[in-house]
Amino acid sequence: MDFINTLGFVYEGVLAGLLIALSCSMVGVYLLMRRLSMLGAGISHSAFGGIAIAFLLGLEPTLFTLFYVALISVLLQFLMDSKRLPSDTILSLFFSFGTALAVIVSAMKENLSANIYSYLFGSLLAVSK
Q: Which domain holds residue 85?
A: 2-126
pLDDT for the residue numbered 41: 81
- Split into its structural domains, the chain has a count of 1
Q: Which amino acid is at 51?
A: I
Of 119, 129, 126, the residue nearest 56 (C-alpha): 119
Cβ contact 85:34 at 8 Å: no
Average pLDDT of the chain to the nearest whole number: 81
With cut-offs at 50, 70 and 90, classify the pLDDT of residue 37. Answer: confident
What is the C-alpha to C-alpha distance for residues 112 and 115, in angstroms, rounded to an integer? Answer: 5
Residue 106's alpha-carbon distances to 48, 57, 72, 103, in angstroms, are: 11, 11, 20, 5
- Whose CA is closest to 43, among 18, 84, 77, 19? 77
Structure confidence at residue 114 (pLDDT): 64
